[in-house]
Amino acid sequence: LLIFAILLLSLGIHCSHIPGPNIAGAFPSIILGAFICFVTIVGGLAFKLHQIELNIIYLIFLVCIFGAQLIFATATLLMDERFMVRSFLKEMYNTKVPRLSGDIEEFQNYFQCCGFYGPDGSDVIVTEGIYLSKGNEKPTLRNVTHLIPECCPRHTVLCTKLDSYKDNCVDKIVKEHSKWRKMLGAFLVSSAYVLAVVFFLGVKEISISQ
């Protein structure tokens, strides 16, 4: 059970550090994983010392944790992250809000995606005046259309559709979050099963000792 708790805690921490909106089940997994670690260590000591009262309290805690795990597992597996991802990205790409270049670069490079609608979306297309010249001609101001630099891999001089990431960030993030969300849900269910086994073994141990 302690191993499952540590794995659940580690998985929750990893998911909480993935860029973008919070993955469903990440923070409950961290809390449950840490709590199960603590309860398992204390419960193990109680059984080692043959403290019946502490053993019973330990088993009661296991029942409570089991119920919480099933609730969080069900909520995690049934969650649809598309609405949350779309809301997050709409705020991120809202032209009325100052664009945080570092944040956009972080998650677009992580997910290798470009904007809300992809490289054809108006949220990532930039038109600006650049002085250009041919040969010995005097530089003239011309409008040049390109993409925001965060849509291309780092060190790209001028980001264009040819160099940019092809996928839109909504689908890419939803796909990635869905994968980790289902993994968290499955792990919550698995650890709940292990917890139930430990509970019945604990009950058996108490009945034998009496």
For 15-45, what is each residue's pLDDT tens digit?
888 887 888 888 888 888 888 888 888 777 7
How confident is the model over 92-113, as a mean pLDDT? 68
| Residue 198 DSSP SS3 | helix
Q: Are residues 136 and 169 in the same domain?
A: yes
Structural domain span for residue 16: 1-79
Mean pLDDT computed over 71-78: 87
Q: Do 45 and 101 lie in a common domain?
A: no
Could you read off the pLDDT of 104-139 as tens digits, one per residue?
A: 777 788 888 888 888 888 878 887 766 666 667 677
Q: Are residues 96 and 70 in the same domain?
A: no
> Burial, 48: exposed, middle or buried (Cβ in 10 Å; 0-12, 13-18, 19+)?
exposed
Q: What is the pLDDT of residues 52-63, one digit of tens each?
A: 777 788 788 888
pLDDT surpasses 70 at 6: yes
Say if residue 63 is in the same domain as residue 120: no
Q: Give the model confidence (pLDDT) of 159-198 as tens digits.
A: 888 888 988 888 888 888 889 988 888 888 888 888 888 8
Alpha-carbon distance of 42 to 65, in angstroms, equals 15
Higher pLDDT, 66 or 203: 66
Residues written for the chain: 210
The mean pLDDT value of the chain amounts to 81
Which of residues 60 and 99 earns the better pLDDT score? 60
Residues 48 and 97 in one domain: no
Same structural domain, 177 and 97: yes
- Give the residue from 58, 4, 51, 62 showing the smallest Cα distance to 29: 4
One domain for residues 111 and 33: no
Residue 96 pLDDT level (bands cut at 50, 70, 90): very low
Task: Give start and end residues of each alpha helix (H) in 49-157.
Answer: 52-78, 82-93, 101-111
| DSSP per-residue letters across 131-183 | EE--TTSPPEEEEEEEE-GGGS-TT-SS--TTTS--S-HHHHHHHHHHHHHHH
The CA distance from 113 to 128, in Å, is 23
74 and 124 fall within a common domain: no
Looking at the fold, whether 75 and 127 belong to one and the same domain comes out as no
Q: How confident is the model at residue 97 (pLDDT cuts 50, 70, 90)?
A: very low
Do residues 50 and 95 both lie within one domain? no
The answer to whether residues 11 and 73 belong to one domain is: yes
